[in-house]
Every structure is written in C-alpha cells, then in structure tokens.
C-alpha cells in the first residue's frame, strides 16, 4: 500500500466522478493514456478491479465504490486544510460544476456570471441547465439549484431568494379577443398553455385565493416543457400561461403580458442551492451563493451551514 501514488488515487476518483477517462484527463491536465495507466497501476497494486469499462461507459465495481466514498472524505479533508494554507492562491481551486434548472439559470445564474468571473477568473465554472431530476453526487456536480421543497432530504440547502409568486398571464391581444377570467373556475373557457415538468408529469395550476388554497388541471391544446417558449407563446396570444412573476417582470412592465387574475396567485418555495453534507464546499461556491443572495436582496452568508440539512422529500417540480 505504501507504493500507491497519491496521483493515482486522485485519477481514480476523478474518472469515477466524470464517468469518463477523457473528461477526467481534461480536468487533471493529463492525456487519456496517462489516466488509463494510472488506473491500471492502482488496480495492479491493490490486486482488484475498481472500474468496469465498456466502449461507452465507466462505472465502479462494488469495491471501487466503497473505496471511492472513503477517498472522497479524505480528499475533502485535504482540500479543507490546503484552503487554510493557500487562501491567497484561491485561483488554484480549479473546477466548479453546478446543475440548475432553466428558470434558475435565467433569473439567478446569468445576472451573477460577470461578477463571479471577475472575482474567480481562474476557476472553471460549468453550469449544466436541465429540468430533469438529477442526483448531483452520482453525476459529479458540486451543487445543484432547485426549489426548496424539491431538494433531496440528505442535502444541505441554502436559500437564494425569497418566496416565489406564481401568476396567470396573457397578452393584451388574447384578453381583447377572449376576455379576462375573474376566478380560476372560469379558466375552463380559455386555452391554457400546459406546462410539462422535468419528470414529464403535467403541472397543476395552484392558487392561494380568498376562497382557499387549491390546485387544478386546466384545459389547453398546447403543452410545453420550456418556460421561455411558454412566455413567447403567451406573448403571441396563443393562450394563458402560469409562470413565475419574477420570470416575466420585464414583460409585465412593458405591457406585452398582463397579470389577468391579480387576486389569484400562489406563493412557492424560494430557489435554493444545495450540496452534499458529506462533501467539502468549494470556496468559489460559497461566493457564488453570496453573489446571488445579494443580487436578490438577501444578506450574504459568512459561512455555509453544514449542520442544517433539508427536511423535505425529493420530488422535482
């Protein structure tokens, strides 16, 4: 065991996290051949296979997964120690990978990128935008961004915004042609643009109204899975759309969309950044969180809360 090279262990953990020899090589600044030799050398010295390889995928054996989990804890401890020593050289922290859904990318990531890039010019930030449910640990992400109630219960969650208001909007042209619904029951006479969730389930429109809180299915001939396309369809007068008020603030100000039922809306959970409670938090992630919180009127966090884990069930919206 004393002959095992630290770099070989790092190569193994990186290959498993990236699920690819090629991507691991890029991250480590090595050739694919060098990474392959490192894994082969490690397996030879341990006398056991750690990775299952095919032409299209890489996965851990049972032993490999067990070793990787223990190594990750060790690497996190080492990284934490080095951060204390090398704080002035924070640009050496390398790569930060985040998985976010489309609305969060548009509202939170895009306005924060310039400031983040200025503060951390040497960090390679990768933002993957997708609305499907994602296991960020298994897929090699440092953090994810979802609504608070959708964060898996074994993760640490940090609020990035206040509560989000959902409203029904339509274009002036649509309202002139078909009228304005005064209450949710009147939506049955309208064409409502259907929203498909990340798990491909149909979204029920929710309302916090004087007559009580409830959710309902609405009629409509068009179903979309993308908020930007939904907003464009509503602006074109195709139908009414149920969207985040903050997502269409510009359109409401311009008058290209109208809040057709201002007394009937719903307040949902804030956007949250979340990460594994067992993983060392990248210092650049801490700063990105604080940039976003500040941009959204919240106080920055001097330290990220490791002790408080999310208590909600995982149920992606």
In this predicted model, what pLDDT tens digit does every residue of 128-176 receive, in sequence order? Answer: 998 888 888 778 788 999 988 888 888 889 999 999 999 999 999 999 9
Q: What does the radius of gyration of the chain's CA atoms come to, in whole angstroms?
A: 23
Answer yes or no: are the C-beta atoms of 56 and 256 closer than 8 Å.
Answer: no
pLDDT value at 119 more than 80:
yes
Average pLDDT, the chain: 83
Q: Which tens digits make up the pLDDT trace of 263-273?
A: 899 998 899 99
Q: Determine the pLDDT at residue 312.
A: 38
* Tokens 């949902």 sit on residue: 268
Number of H helices, E strands in the chain: 10, 15
Tokens encoding 314: 């995982």
Note if the pTM is more than 0.75.
no
Which residues are CB-neighbours of 22 under 8 A, at least 6 positions away?
Answer: 32
Between β-strands 164-170 and 241-244, what pairing exists: parallel, antiparallel or unpaired? antiparallel
- pLDDT classification of 294: cutoffs 50, 70, 90: very high
Q: How many residues does the chain have?
A: 317
- Of the chain, the end-to-end C-alpha distance in Å amounts to 47
What's the mean pLDDT in 188-215? 82
Q: Determine the pLDDT at residue 302.
A: 73
- pLDDT classification of 19: cutoffs 50, 70, 90: confident
Count CB neighbours of 187 within 10 A. Answer: 23
CA 195 to chain centre: 19
């Amino acid at each position: 065991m004393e002959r095992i090279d630290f770099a070989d262990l790092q190569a193994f953990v990186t290959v498993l996290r990236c699920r690819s020899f090629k991507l691991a090589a890029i991250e480590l600044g090595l050739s694919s051949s060098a990474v392959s030799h490192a894994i082969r050398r490690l397996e030879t010295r341990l006398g056991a296979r750690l990775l299952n390889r095919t032409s299209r995928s890489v996965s851990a054996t049972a032993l490999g997964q067990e070793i990787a989990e223990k190594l990750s804890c060790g690497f996190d401890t080492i990284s934490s120690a080095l951060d204390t020593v090398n704080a002035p050289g924070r640009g050496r922290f390398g790569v930060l990978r985040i998985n976010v859904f489309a609305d969060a990318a548009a509202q939170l990531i895009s306005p924060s990128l310039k400031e983040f890039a200025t503060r951390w010019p040497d960090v390679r930030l990768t933002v993957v935008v997708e609305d499907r449910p994602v296991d960020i640990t298994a897929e090699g992400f440092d953090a994810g961004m979802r609504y608070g109630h959708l964060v898996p219960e074994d993760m640490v969650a940090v609020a990035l915004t206040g509560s989000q208001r959902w409203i029904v909007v339509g274009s002036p042209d649509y309202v002139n042609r078909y009228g304005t619904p005064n209450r949710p029951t009147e939506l049955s006479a309208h064409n409502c643009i259907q929203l498909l969730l990340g798990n491909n389930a149909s979204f029920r429109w929710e309302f916090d109204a004087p007559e009580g809180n409830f959710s309902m299915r609405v009629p409509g001939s068009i179903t979309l899975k993308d908020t930007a396309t939904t907003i464009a369809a509503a602006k074109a007068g195709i139908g009414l759309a149920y969207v985040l008020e903050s997502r269409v603030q510009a359109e409401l100000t311009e008058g290209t969309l109208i809040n057709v039922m201002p007394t009937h809306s719903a307040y949902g959970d804030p956007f949250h950044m979340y990460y594994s409670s067992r993983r060392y938090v990248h210092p650049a992630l801490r700063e990105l969180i604080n940039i976003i919180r500040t941009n959204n009127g919240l106080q920055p966090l001097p330290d990220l809360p490791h002790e408080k884990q999310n208590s909600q069930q995982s149920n992606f919206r």
